[in-house]
Amino acid sequence: MDLRNLCLYYADRKFNNKINYNANQLLNFVESTYKSFYTGMDKEYKDALKIALKMDNKNNKMFDEKELEAMVEQLKKLNPKHLIGLAKLIKAQLNDKSDDKYYEFDLNDLDMNTLNKIDCYIKHITKDK
């Protein structure tokens, strides 16, 4: 965002033509990179979300305190698009139809099936990293 704001500043001001041209070129590059990055992420989280939702609950594993703490740390590292997928996953599991702007949940209050689906989602999101 800072690079975008910087490019906008120099592209919109009356400097010499070379500075304006270069700022516009850089702004176009930043915008196209930004769009392609988030478009790819949409597909990535949607694919992981589909896999997690289809996961059957026959092989649910139990999570101990350390594993839940590790899951929380992994969740903190997710980017905003992945967090949207996580919220959709939890809402689907809890049959929550609300359209609230903010969504809060406590891992300790979720059932094992939901925790396993979250674990599956995280593993598919982070497998390439």
pLDDT one-digit tens code per residue, 41-76:
677 788 888 888 888 877 778 888 899 999 999 988
Distance CA(96)–CA(83), nearest Å, equals: 16
**29 found inside a domain:** no
73-111 residue pLDDT tens: 998 888 888 888 888 888 888 887 777 767 788 888 888
**34 found inside a domain:** no
User: What domain range is 114 assigned to?
Assistant: 39-126
- For residue 121, the model assigns a pLDDT of 92
Q: How many domains does the chain have?
A: 1
Model confidence, pTM? 0.64
- For residue 115, the model assigns a pLDDT of 92
Q: Which of 66, 47, 42, 55 is nearest to 117 (CA)?
A: 55
SS3 97: coil
**82 found inside a domain:** yes
- Whether residue 45 contacts residue 81, with contact meaning beta carbons closer than 8 Å, is answered with yes
- Whether residue 86 contacts residue 121, with contact meaning beta carbons closer than 8 Å, is answered with yes
**122 found inside a domain:** yes
- Whether residue 121 contacts residue 49, with contact meaning beta carbons closer than 8 Å, is answered with yes
**80 found inside a domain:** yes
Distance CA(120)–CA(78), nearest Å, equals: 14
